[in-house]
């Protein structure tokens, strides 16, 4: 098995937080996923199911409880420039221009480059996100969409092995969202960066991804199933929308989200029942068994 076929490996990933009763509650449990080099994988699931928890662990921003995260054969032990993150809010430094915001990371990643080289890298990536004429503007002088373009340029300019996108278009209008989806796909087609996208939008997931990972509801959220999206790259939106299989994939993903919503309360109730500890008169501890739903 080549390292290219297991470029990003998430094995048995678990994240637990203590509750007020001194118990560890796993929000994400035994999460397994492998991405090939250059693949784009979306993670969909309900709000609060643990999608961003997985992403922040992969970014090295959130310590894991157990399991392993491996990128190109190296275990993730903390943040690093090999993994760039674009959050929903671009979080630009307001006293710096777009160019200076991008340069901030470039200086760290290319410490031995000349000033000219670093400047050219910043200008190149700002221009491919469509900001060639606005790179010396301050964040307050830019729209939300433009600020997010800076955030994307800042991430890509680091030449990361893995790009992590945490609902990057969540605060944008539909037109800007579609525009930025194409900007990112265009970059990924050129740079072949292995990418994970957290999203609630099933159309976005299908259009952008090679595979969609459906996450079950938390607590103990995990992979429900993975759906391969076989459309060829580079993708043309109209061709994807007209593909005869498109609405089959869409219906499957929507049905998954609806079913997760419908059974959210029962899953939480089942989890709480399992966690419930009944103390008998002699203080013996009895944990009640619960039948878990199972996916097929």
List residues near another protein by CB under 8 A: 1, 5-6, 30, 32-34, 36, 211, 214, 216, 222-230, 245, 248-249, 251-252, 254-256, 259-260, 262-263, 266-267, 289, 293-296
Closer residue to another protein in complex, CB, 35/86: 35
Closer residue to another protein in complex, CB, 123/201: 201
Number of C-beta neighbours around residue 292 at 10 A: 10
- Residue 5: CB minimum distance to another protein, A: 6
- Residue 32: CB minimum distance to another protein, A: 4
Closer residue to another protein in complex, CB, 133/291: 291
Closer residue to another protein in complex, CB, 73/293: 293
On whether the CB atoms of residues 36 and 62 are closer than 8 A, the answer is no
On whether the CB atoms of residues 150 and 102 are closer than 8 A, the answer is yes
Question: How far, CA to CA in Å, does 159 sit from each of 2, 52, 69, 145?
Answer: 22, 22, 20, 22
Tokens of 247: 């609405």
DSSP secondary structure, 155-198, as one string: HHTT--SEEEEESTTTTS-HHHHHHHHHHHHHHHHHH--EEEEE
Closer residue to another protein in complex, CB, 96/270: 270
- Residue 31: CB minimum distance to another protein, A: 8
Closer residue to another protein in complex, CB, 143/255: 255
Closer residue to another protein in complex, CB, 177/211: 211
Spatial distance between the Cα atoms of 251 and 245, rounded to a whole number of angstroms: 10
Tokens of 206: 């299908």
Question: How far, CA to CA in Å, does 161 sit from each of 34, 85, 128?
Answer: 15, 11, 19
- Residue 255: CB minimum distance to another protein, A: 4
Spatial distance between the Cα atoms of 121 and 233, rounded to a whole number of angstroms: 26
- Residue 56: CB minimum distance to another protein, A: 20
- Residue 235: CB minimum distance to another protein, A: 16
Assign 85 to helix, strand or coil: strand
- Residue 280: CB minimum distance to another protein, A: 13
- Residue 73: CB minimum distance to another protein, A: 15
DSSP strand pairing (211-215 vs 223-228): antiparallel
On whether the CB atoms of residues 78 and 60 are closer than 8 A, the answer is yes
Spatial distance between the Cα atoms of 164 and 157, rounded to a whole number of angstroms: 14
Element (H, E) at 43: strand 40-44
Closer residue to another protein in complex, CB, 81/248: 248
């Amino acid at each position: 098995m080549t390292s290219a076929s297991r470029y990003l490996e998430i094995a048995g990933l678990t994240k637990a937080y203590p509750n007020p009763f001194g118990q560890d509650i796993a929000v994400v449990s035994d999460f397994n996923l492998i991405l090939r080099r250059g693949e784009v994988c979306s993670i969909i699931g309900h709000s609060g199911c643990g999608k961003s928890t997985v992403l922040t662990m992969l970014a090295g921003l959130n310590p894991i409880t157990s399991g392993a995260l491996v990128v190109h054969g190296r275990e993730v032990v903390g943040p690093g420039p090999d993994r760039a993150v674009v959050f929903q809010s671009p979080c630009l430094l307001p006293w710096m221009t777009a160019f200076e915001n991008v340069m901030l990371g470039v200086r760290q990643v290319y410490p031995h480059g000349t000033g000219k080289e670093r400047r050219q890298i910043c200008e190149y990536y700002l221009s491919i996100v469509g900001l060639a004429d606005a790179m010396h503007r301050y964040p307050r002088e830019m729209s939300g969409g433009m600020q997010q373009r800076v955030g994307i340029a800042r991430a890509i300019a680091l030449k990361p092995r893995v790009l992590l996108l945490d609902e990057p278009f969540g605060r944008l209008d539909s037109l800007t969202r579609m525009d930025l989806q194409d900007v990112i796909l265009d970059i990924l087609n050129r740079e072949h960066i292995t990418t994970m996208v957290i999203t609630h939008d099933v159309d976005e997931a299908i259009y952008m991804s090679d595979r969609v990972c459906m996450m079950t509801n938390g607590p103990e959220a995990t992979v429900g199933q993975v759906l391969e999206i076989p459309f060829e790259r580079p993708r043309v939106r109209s061709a994807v929308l007209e593909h005869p299989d498109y609405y089959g994939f869409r219906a499957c993903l929507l049905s998954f989200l609806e079913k997760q919503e419908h059974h959210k309360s029962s899953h939480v109730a089942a989890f709480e029942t399992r966690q419930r500890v009944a103390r008998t008169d002699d203080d013996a501890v009895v944990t009640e068994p619960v039948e878990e739903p199972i996916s097929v």
